[in-house]
Amino acid sequence: MLQLPSSKRDQAPPHRNADISSDKVCPVANLAASYEKIASILDAVADGDTDIGDDATVALDNRLSELMDEAANLSPQSKFGAAFNVLLASTQIDATINGVDADHRRRAAGRIDRLLYGLRDYFSDQFDLMPGASAYVMPCKTDPRKRDGVATNPPQIIPQSEPQSSREKSALDVVDANIAPVGAEADLLDELCHMKDANDVCGMMNLYDYFIASDAAAQAVMNLPRTLGRAHNFIESECDRTRAKAYLVADFLKDMRPNKHDAERYSEILFNCALAMGNKLSDAVAVVSEIASWNLSQPDAEG
């Protein structure tokens, strides 16, 4: 875990980490946690409490910008998430006026625009009390996230073709990617949607194995005694992102049907994923039992 200089640790509010970790249902919670870690380090650098070098400082500052862009395409679902949106928007106000060039100022204004529309989603019940003002100032048809072709809260897309409310409850529902939202991953989502439409179960399982193997390899390096400081923290953050991608793949996979040849591997993946997500052993066993009850087809004959 991240270790700040002692002066920063001592000043941290005792409830801060609990606030972040307990807000798992909010799609921006993981982004906010990563942002908090990096911002705390940069704050320590600015105060002279630590020195990580110019290159590392620039890399971390760029990572904050990436996290901001991801958050700007999501809608908060909690007070914590809404507060994070407000914080991010406030960081861009000065850049809209004093940005180094027109493009920089335009991008800052665009971020504020998207962040505010995320807040509109969260405070929708309050905006409903001001229909005239809402329609005049922030008309839905100009939501910049939709205008720019970006899916809002992409990790929370429901893979099923039918509305979730109409689905029969399934033991496989415990495999839920919302436990660790991955953020804006348009390319990955596009591939997953195509693979699901083609019922490419084997390909989807290979993709899951790839992300799990990547996470394991990164963790092995992160846990080496020589992996310290900024390198450790960066790899830890990448592990979280890679694991979240694996969970998203599994969320799509659970709504696909394997043939009899792939059923064992399919069951193993969803069983292990259910446990990795923190579910009870009985829940994971129920996943396997339900899969075993399916009437699966034989694999297509080759050639």
Q: Tell me the pLDDT of the chain (303 aa) as tens digits.
A: 333 444 443 443 433 433 444 444 677 877 888 888 888 888 888 888 888 888 888 888 888 888 888 888 888 888 888 888 899 988 888 888 877 777 778 778 888 888 887 888 788 888 778 877 776 666 554 455 554 444 444 433 333 334 444 456 888 888 887 766 666 566 787 788 888 888 999 999 999 999 999 999 988 998 898 988 888 888 888 888 898 899 989 989 998 999 999 999 999 999 999 998 888 899 999 999 999 999 888 877 554
Residue at 169: amino acid letter: K
Q: How do the domains of the chain map onto residue ranges? A: 1-152, 153-303
Q: pTM of the prediction?
A: 0.47
The pLDDT score that the predictor gives to residue 9 is 38
The pLDDT score that the predictor gives to residue 112 is 85
The pLDDT score that the predictor gives to residue 267 is 92
The pLDDT score that the predictor gives to residue 301 is 59
The pLDDT score that the predictor gives to residue 271 is 93
Q: Which two tokens stand for residue 262?
A: 């792939």
Contacts of 254 (CB under 8 A, 6+ apart): 159, 170, 172, 175, 270
The pLDDT score that the predictor gives to residue 60 is 86
The answer to whether residues 262 and 206 touch, using CB atoms and an 8 Å cutoff, is no
CA distance readout (Å), 166 to 161, 162, 163, 250 = 10, 7, 6, 21
Q: Which two tokens stand for residue 171?
A: 């033991």
The pLDDT score that the predictor gives to residue 177 is 75
Please tell me the number of Cα atoms within 13 Å of 198 on its side-chain side: 11
* Rounded CA separation 88/84 (Å): 6
